[in-house]
Chains A and B, each alone.
Chain A
């Protein structure tokens, strides 16, 4: 069955770059997503990438996709304490009939 895996914790120093990794198993995945959950809040979509792309950049965020290895990463440049949150990787087939599969989430700790 489909599966999305990511490590549970990551700790970085303020100002450093954070890289959160994710692997998935569904070769039919068309869209890969990153969601963010701040403390005490619900999940919100951060960014997504279409499977025919290998990189997407949005200000401090860079998403890299290696479709061959089914590996997705989220890089946060100049990490700030406000970036402390749980980051969820998710994938879908994009045809509206299949559910989106989420990873368990990576908790990012940013040390001042």
Chain B
């Protein structure tokens, strides 16, 4: 698989439950991003991992949201005690983070529905 993959593709959960969303970036890409896309809200930055640097968590909307990136590869976005307003498509992207133009490659997203 040459592209960014995300799982699951769809997740339906009940309010108050925890969920984990997974992202497998392109091999060799040192930068990894999580975004949230809500209807009418556009693309919202959540968190950014770059190599071994401390992640940029400035976009996380609350302390219920957290993310990890293990071994510089796979990343997991965790949402605790989900709320209905967390319903959205969660997108992951990766890039080479090289000098110059740096194209991000996006996964297909995980559609989260909180009932």
Within 8 A of B (CB), among A79-98: 88, 90, 92, 94-97
Which single member of B33, B101, B108 contacts A99 (CB below 8 Å)?
A: B33
- Residue B50 lies at the interface, judged by CB distance under 8 Å to chain A: yes
**Contact between A92 and B106 (Cβ–Cβ < 8 Å)?**
no
Residues of A bordering B, CB below 8 Å: 8, 31, 33, 35, 41-45, 48, 50, 88, 90, 92, 94-97, 99-105
Residues of B bordering A, CB below 8 Å: 4, 31, 33, 35, 40-45, 48, 50, 53, 56, 91, 93, 95-104, 106-109
Residues of B within 8 A of A96 (CB): 96-99, 102
Residues of B within 8 A of A102 (CB): 35, 43, 45
CA of A97 to CA of B102 in the docked complex: distance in angstroms? 11
**Contact between B48 and A99 (Cβ–Cβ < 8 Å)?**
yes
**Contact between B104 and A45 (Cβ–Cβ < 8 Å)?**
yes
Residues of A within 8 A of B104 (CB): 35, 43, 45, 90, 100
Residues of B within 8 A of A31 (CB): 100-102
**Contact between A92 and B102 (Cβ–Cβ < 8 Å)?**
yes
Can you name 30 A-B pairs with beta carbons within 8 Å? A31-B100, A31-B101, A33-B103, A35-B104, A42-B107, A42-B108, A43-B93, A43-B104, A45-B104, A50-B101, A88-B43, A90-B104, A92-B102, A94-B100, A95-B99, A96-B97, A96-B98, A96-B102, A97-B53, A97-B97, A99-B33, A99-B45, A100-B33, A100-B95, A100-B104, A103-B42, A104-B41, A104-B42, A104-B43, A105-B42
